Amino acid sequence: MPELLQDPFIQSSALPLLVSLILVGALHLLRRPLAAAGIAAGFLVVFALVVGLPALPPPSSMGKLFWSSAIGLLLGVAADAAGLRGRVASAGLALWLAGSLLWIALPVLDSMAAVVGFLILLAVAAWVAFARGSQAPGADKAESPTAPAASLLALALAVGGTALIGSSASIAQMALALAASAGGFLLWNWPVERHGWGLPGRVATGIAVLLAGVLTLFTQAQTAVLLLALPALLAGRVSHFVPQGHGPVGRAASSAAVTVAAVLPALAAIGAAYALTGGEASPY
């Protein structure tokens, strides 16, 4: 890898942003509804480039995260291509998330604190999977991508920022890389929305939950503050209260407002983590 790409800042920002822009664009040309799969695919590419391709079976929680994310991406793309929507798609997403969390958490589920953390993560996973489960069939495909992508951006930022403050360098890198990948997708859909979100996009949000699981269960970071970031999942509801502008400028402003509203809870979580450490940032 060139020396420039060995810089941690590049690895967690510019590199995943560029990879996401390329993959979202390529998938758009291949099959437009698959564009959101470029987020998770970009995350996996950057993981392999920065951390390396994990062994099988994976000996570490980060290795399990990688292969769980890869399985989720494949399942999401296959289900979307098969036209699965509504409750069936949500149930499949929930099973993947629950199974992945259990696989990751199993080695540490011998303490009450870990069990409580695991149950909270399962509840968040259920929200991610079923929040739109009551929608009419086909609604996922038409769903505006800005709000859910902004929610993903916010959650990944919260996990990455908390991990950075908690000196969890590898988790911070990968969470921020996921945020940058979401940013690449958002750039493709700004000022004009071009893509749907669909199951591949929801899988990417699930990856953020898995990252939060690794951070919560395997580090000493102040992960309770991540609860402050959960309102970011309501960005879709916030969008109903944001004036919908007319013309390219108005639509661009509306999308930017929704993104800002989603990111604010993440900033609150990062600020709380920083305060709880006594104002000492990670040396990373």
Alpha-carbon distances, residue 106 vs 60, 111, 257 (angstroms): 12, 11, 40
Could you give the CA distance from residue 229 to residue 158 in angstroms, rounded to a whole number?
A: 7
- The confidence score (pLDDT) of residue 134 equals 33
What pTM, to 2 d.p., does this model score?
0.91
Residue 230 within a domain: yes
Residue 108 within a domain: no
Over its length of 284 residues, how does the chain's per-residue pLDDT go in tens digits? Answer: 566 667 888 889 999 999 999 999 999 888 877 899 999 999 999 999 999 999 989 999 999 999 999 999 999 999 988 888 888 999 999 999 999 999 999 999 999 999 999 999 999 999 999 986 333 334 444 468 999 999 999 999 999 999 999 888 999 999 999 999 999 999 999 888 888 898 999 999 999 999 999 999 999 888 899 999 999 999 877 766 666 656 666 677 788 888 999 999 999 999 999 998 876 555 55
Residue 284 within a domain: no
Phi/psi of residue 78, nearest 5 degrees: -65, -45
Which string of b and e fits 157-190 if b means at least 16 CB within 10 Å?
A: bbbbbbbbbbbbebbbbbbbbbbbbbbbbbebbb
258 lies in which domain range? 1-85+143-277
Which string of b and e fits 119-143 if b means at least 16 CB within 10 Å?
A: ebbbebbbebbebbeeeeeeebeeb
- The confidence score (pLDDT) of residue 1 equals 54
Residue 107 within a domain: no
Residue 187 within a domain: yes
H, E, C per residue of 13-39: HHHHHHHHHHHHHHHHHHCHHHCCHHH
Look at residue 51 and give its three-state secondary structure. coil
Q: From the CB of residue 248, how many other CB atoms can be counted at a distance below 10 Å?
A: 10
Determine the distance from the C-alpha atom of residue 37 to the mean position of all C-alpha atoms in its chain, rounded to a whole number. Answer: 12
Residue 250 within a domain: yes
Q: How many domains does the chain have?
A: 1
